[in-house]
Amino acid sequence: MSLKENEIAPDFELLNQDSEKVQLSQFRGQNVVLYFYPKDDTPGCTTEACGFRDNYDKFKENNIVIFGVSPDSAKSHTKFIEKFQLPFPLLADVEHQVCDLFGVWGLKTMMGKEYYGVLRTTFVISPEGKILKIFENVKPTNHFQEILDLFSK
């Protein structure tokens, strides 16, 4: 992981599920949760997304904007959002450029086979654009609570 806590998060622009451009720097003045996940509508990714969904009001109360990022298309994101009524945007990083920028595209192993994909990682970014916290090797269950705990201290 090349990025470190207390550094300014790199700016980027990606399309959301509605094919609208979203730029990270547009959200200065707010806390941002940028969570990178491997694939829409898979068990772990659904658990993680639904945890954010079910606690969305708590994030809003803390002035926290949530963005999920994966290499899936905007169309795939739309289906995922509709199926699980997700109240936050998902960003399409089809060419994994932002995943590369944030250092979360890497070698993975499943059933003895190696492949490249998204390393489940979350960045919490301050209103000033600094990385407050990096969660690596995220476990999808109750991950939302780890983030909320940062703001309850």
117 phi and psi angles, rounded to 5 deg: -170, -170
Cα separation, 32 vs 26, in Å, equals 11
User: Hey, what are 125's tokens?
Assistant: 């970014």
Per-residue pLDDT of 12-48, as tens digits, reads 999 999 999 999 999 999 999 999 999 999 999 999 9
Pairing relation of β-strands 131-135 and 105-110?
unpaired
Model confidence at 153: pLDDT above 80: no
Neighbours of 41 (CB within 10 A): 14
| pLDDT the model gives residue 28 | 96
- How much is the pTM? 0.95
- The answer regarding whether domain 27-151 maps to CATH 3.40.50.970 reads no
Report the chain's C-alpha Rg in angstroms: 14
Per residue in 67-105, pLDDT (tens digit) is 999 999 999 999 999 999 999 999 999 999 999 999 999
pLDDT tens digits, 113-140:
998 999 999 999 999 999 999 999 999 9
- In the predicted model, is pLDDT for residue 110 greater than 80? yes
Q: Which residue has the tokens 């547009």?
A: 26
* DSSP code of residue 130: B
Give pLDDT, residue 59: 96
Q: Is 99 a catalytic residue?
A: no
Q: Which of 45, 98, 125, 131 is catalytic?
A: 45
- Output the pLDDT for position 7: 96
pLDDT at 109: 86
Which two structure tokens, joined as six digits, stand for 149?
């705990």
